[in-house]
Every structure is written in C-alpha cells, then in structure tokens.
C-alpha cells in the first residue's frame, strides 16, 4: 500500500530561521518605502491621510483652440459635376469650422487642396464621381507650388461625408509632417 505522503527528505526539513528571514525582509522593505510619505507630528507614515488632501485640483475640461497650430488652407475645385461641387462645399465648410485650420484666400503661406472631379459615368452623372486630390504648399501667389501628396478615388452621394473627414484628417497629417515649411 502506497504512503499518502512522500517520505521526508533532508531538503524538506523545517527551517526555524525562515520566519525570521521573512520578517526582516518585510521590515527592510517597509523602511525603504516609509520615507516617501510626509510625516505628521513626528510620526513617520502618518502622511497617508495627507495624501488624499494633497491631490491635484481638477482641471476644467474646456479645450481652447490652439492658435499656434492653425494652418492656413485653400480649396480649389476643377470640375462641373454636382457631387464634386458638394464635396468641395463640405470640405470648405469643415475647414472653416475647424480649430486646426484657417480657410484663407489671402497671399500667405498655406496648403492648397486641389480637387478635381468628373462624373464616373457621363450618361448618369448622379451615380458617382471620380476625384483627384493633390496637396501642395504655396509660399505666396507668385511662387512655385511644392507638391506634398496626392490621392484618387471614386465618391458617391452616400460617401461624401466620409471622404470629407478623410481629406481633412489627411490634410492635418500633412500639415504636421511639413510644419517646418510654415516657419
């Protein structure tokens, strides 16, 4: 009949010094951590109650527009289809209402969003439009424009809002990437 417990070996003998080692280790850890807390009337560690009182004050959750980062943009449309006109109008409206961009036509350094659209099917112009977006940097009206990025695709009436959000997001990424041009 097998024994229910394994036989006792020298390695499994009780160690009378183990509890002492454990208590000394815990004491040293506590001594190392205790000076981090402030003292109250000379008692170390009494600062636990003060930690709740010294919590930082709440900051109002009202983000202010970051004027330093506002980038001037201009949207130029080339095309005669109605979806392209709707896309350009919504794009200008979104840039104008954003705190990251200033829709501007004045002679200043800016990112120009060149939008070109054409009906996908000339016999059915309301089905969809092929579009091309080119981002260029313009130092002023009389200087050469610098190519930054491009994108082509097809837009439908249902996807105009999504495309506007995508173009604005990509314009923000481009403005961050090429921010040195505005300095």
Nearest-CA neighbor of 149 among 133, 172, 165, 160?
133
Please tell me the distance from the alpha carbon of residue 76 to that of residue 146, in angstroms, as a whole number. 15
pLDDT of residue 13: 60
pLDDT of residue 8: 60
Whether 131 contacts 115, CB under 8 Å: yes
The pTM of the whole model exceeds 0.85 = no
CA 144-147-148 angle, to 5 degrees, is 140
pLDDT of residue 41: 52
Give the residue ranges of the chain where pLDDT is below 50: 47, 51
pLDDT of residue 126: 74
Strands 71-78 and 110-119: parallel
Whether 164 contacts 94, CB under 8 Å: yes
Domains of the chain, start order: 17-53 (no CATH), 67-182 (3.40.50.10610)
pLDDT of residue 15: 67
Helices (H) and strands (E) in the chain, counts: 4, 5
pLDDT of residue 175: 93
pLDDT of residue 26: 67
pLDDT of residue 183: 82
Spacing of C-alpha 136 from chain mean position: 23
């Amino acid at each position: 009949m097998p024994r229910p417990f394994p036989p006792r070996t020298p390695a499994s003998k009780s160690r009378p010094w183990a509890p002492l080692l454990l208590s000394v280790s815990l004491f040293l850890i506590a001594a190392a951590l205790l000076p981090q807390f402030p003292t109250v009337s000379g008692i170390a560690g009494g600062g636990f109650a003060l930690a709740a009182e010294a919590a930082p004050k709440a900051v109002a959750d009202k983000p202010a527009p970051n004027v330093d980062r506002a980038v001037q943009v201009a949207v130029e449309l080339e095309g005669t289809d109605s979806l392209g006109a709707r896309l350009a109008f919504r794009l200008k409206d979104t840039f104008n209402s954003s705190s990251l961009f200033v829709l501007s036509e004045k002679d200043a350094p800016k990112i120009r969003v060149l939008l070109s659209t054409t009906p996908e099917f000339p016999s059915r112009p309301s089905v969809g439009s092929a579009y091309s977006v080119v981002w260029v940097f313009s130092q002023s009206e009389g200087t050469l424009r610098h190519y930054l990025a491009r994108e082509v695709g097809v837009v439908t009436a249902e996807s105009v809002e999504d495309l506007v959000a995508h173009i604005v997001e990509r314009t923000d990424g481009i403005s961050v990437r090429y921010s040195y041009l505005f300095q």
